[in-house]
Amino acid sequence: MRLIILAATAALLSACAGAPTGNAPQSLVDRSALTVQDILSTENDRMDAASVLRRARGALVCPQSFRAAFFAGGAGGNCVLIGRDAAGSWSSPAFYAVGSGSIGFQAGIQDSQTLLLLMSERALNAAIENQFKFGADASLAIAHLGGSLEGATTTNLGADILSFSRSRGLFAGLALEGSVLNAMQEWNAAYYGREVTTRDIVVNMAAHNPGADPLRAALIRFGGQPTPAAAPAPVPAAAPATPARPSRGGISRTPLPAPR
């Protein structure tokens, strides 16, 4: 059974993570921006969204992931990872494929929008280093909050990852899942016009594509503006030196020694 799950996961990742065709990277970024708006834009969620996003270290956005099964199943899709620095600025995206195989009592077809907020440095590093196994990594505390952020500011404060999703379709049953993230370096190179690592994109913010600005703007819209860098304190001007008053007529007033 374990070999079947691994084979299904590998097949899904291979299918999702191939070389990009046409405008596929930009299309994924555009759909990711819409996913952020769809999940965070409800009236009840806006205040919670701002509070949560201000604490996040990054976000993984999967605008469409499919899940289908009849006893043995699998799920897969493409996602983008965005990092956030201490000042509140969001990076341009790095590209990922996600896939999983599962065995268990299950039946149905479903597609969903998913937003994972990475609330700790540990969670962000796990995603960057391809060590993220969703639902199977005991070292990461994951809080599943459905399609709403309500209560996220007062509960699950210790979670490394906050998971939000909106699904369409029917999927019934329990499954043993372990979704795996895989960086799509070919997509990164195609989108930025050069070879660039995920860490340079997400943490060092050393690559940028203007096409990602709407996605970054959506995150800023719900999470607040970045904190501007503090201007250096002005250096006080030195007090002007008081000029020496010359002796009247240029005559020295030094007393002469007394005659002997």
Report the candidate in 250, 82, 53 with the shortest Cα–Cα distance to residue 149.
Answer: 53
CA distances from 220 to 34, 51, 87, 215, 227 (A): 14, 12, 12, 9, 11
In a domain, 244, yes or no: no
Task: Name the one residue in this structure whose structure tokens are 């691994």.
Answer: 6
In a domain, 231, yes or no: no
Q: How confident is the model at residue 10 (pLDDT cuts 50, 70, 90)?
A: very low
pLDDT per residue as tens digits for the range 63-108: 976 555 444 445 578 999 999 998 999 999 999 998 765 545 444 5
In a domain, 124, yes or no: yes
How many Cα atoms occupy the beta-carbon half-sphere of 8 within 13 Å? 21
In a domain, 247, yes or no: no
pLDDT for 254 equals: 54
In a domain, 172, yes or no: yes
Q: In terms of residue numbers, what domain contains 97? A: 2-223
Looking at the structure of the chain, the number of domains it has is 1
pLDDT for 176 equals: 34
In a domain, 237, yes or no: no
In a domain, 233, yes or no: no
In a domain, 171, yes or no: yes
pLDDT per residue as tens digits for the range 145-194: 654 444 444 344 578 888 887 765 544 443 335 678 899 999 999 999 99
- What are the backbone angles phi and psi of residue 48, rounded to the nearest 5°? -65, -40
Using an 8 Å Cβ cutoff, are 97 and 17 in contact?
yes
pTM of the model as a whole = 0.71
